[in-house]
Structure 1
């Protein structure tokens, strides 16, 4: 009950409405209009099944929103992505939307510290016929990234990288991912508006985990804004996603 009260307090203070728990839109009705008009009836059946299964999980708030999934799916098709990476998988909703967007010989290097959550969605991914595109590695991403960076053949080899894991490592991930993504390729950092709290006053009464992660997000947002190797676009989709296009 206490956690719910804190969530409602944050919603009222920073504009995060209740219908779209992953939306920063000011109007519940407007967000619902978007979902009902252009999202739900176009959502592939496997993604709907996985979304509904994830909704029963205690940590369901970790999943990306359905409209963000639609956005990523189209984005991947627009850039003709083939070799991708995902850091932070959870039950695999964003992973599935990526796999469905890639060509049959496309590949996703997927990393998460929890295989159990991944396996919750795996049967649906398999049923969708895209499991062969996924190379799942259980454990922290940093050691895997360090190994990839050591081998120059991996440099500039990824078309798209999606990051939705431990926020305290976003800045460390970026230092490595900028070498692994190709020039013209994209890195997407999720949750970069952090429930709207990025504009909260320094003394705002935020729960500790919210404040700590907000501070990490603020650091990476500032770093991305001045990184001359990338072009950026911060979008209020879901909980905020920042796209970084490598230009050099």
Structure 2
């Protein structure tokens, strides 16, 4: 992943944001050490942003599309009240095994409900409302995830969509690949949706924040 924000500024922002818990730090360090694509992990600064959004909307139910090794699920679980729940979806058993191991160690792990299988199928069978929906999975389905997320979203909830700057490749015309084209299509669809308010925040690789009007 390209550094869209200089590393020293990123570190400064992390230092002046909500701190990373010990269990998340251990998970992040293991992910960086052992996983093939550790950059898929959201990291401390974006994790703090996810926690802030969860607290701002007073969330009790969170839906996460794309779990990886479980870092962001732990972020949400730590920010939720005692009776809160995180439903998190993934298809990769290797990364899910790491996530489950850390969920078992974490005091908040009991709040996390792991659903394995294609996320669109899982979303089809879920019943809303969810207060926060975080989308960070296969990019070619982003628009499909967004459309279903709108159906599942609580009236005062937020959808958070990761990687919407895609290493800066969203500026390229024509798009260099299918994933870039899908993210560009999502960004256009959200910007042109009269039923929502949205802001694209330049944290890490870009986070799109969406709420219903």
TM-score, with length taken from structure 1: 0.81
**Residue in 1 that maps onto 2:205:** 239
How many angstroms does 1:126 deviate by? 2.1
**Deviation readout 1:139-181 (Å, 9 max, x if unpaired):** 1011122223xxxxx34x1101000001111111122111110
Are residues 1:79 and 2:57 paired? yes
Aligned twin of 1:213: 179
Aligned to 2:22: 45
| Residue matched to 1:194 | 166
CA-based RMSD of the aligned residues comes to: 1.7
Higher-Rg structure is 1
On the 8 A contact 1:46/1:125 being kept in 2, the answer is no
User: Is it true that 1:28 corresponds to 2:2 in the alignment?
Assistant: no
Find the aligned partners of 2:60 and 2:199 in 1 and give their Cα distance: 22
Query: Which sections of structure 2, spanning at least 5 residues, go unmatched?
Result: none
Which aligned pairs between 1:53-92 and structure 2 lie closer than 5 A?
A: 53-56=30-33, 57-92=35-70
Aligned residue-pair number: 212
Structure 1 stretches of at least 4 aligned residues deviating more than 4 Å after TM superposition: none
Secondary structure at 1:237 match in 2:
coil
Structure 1: where are the runs of 5+ without partners?
1-6, 8-15, 18-23, 149-153
Aligned to 1:172: 144
Aligned to 1:13: none
Q: Is residue 161–residue 186 contact of structure 1 (8 Å, CA) maintained in 2?
A: yes
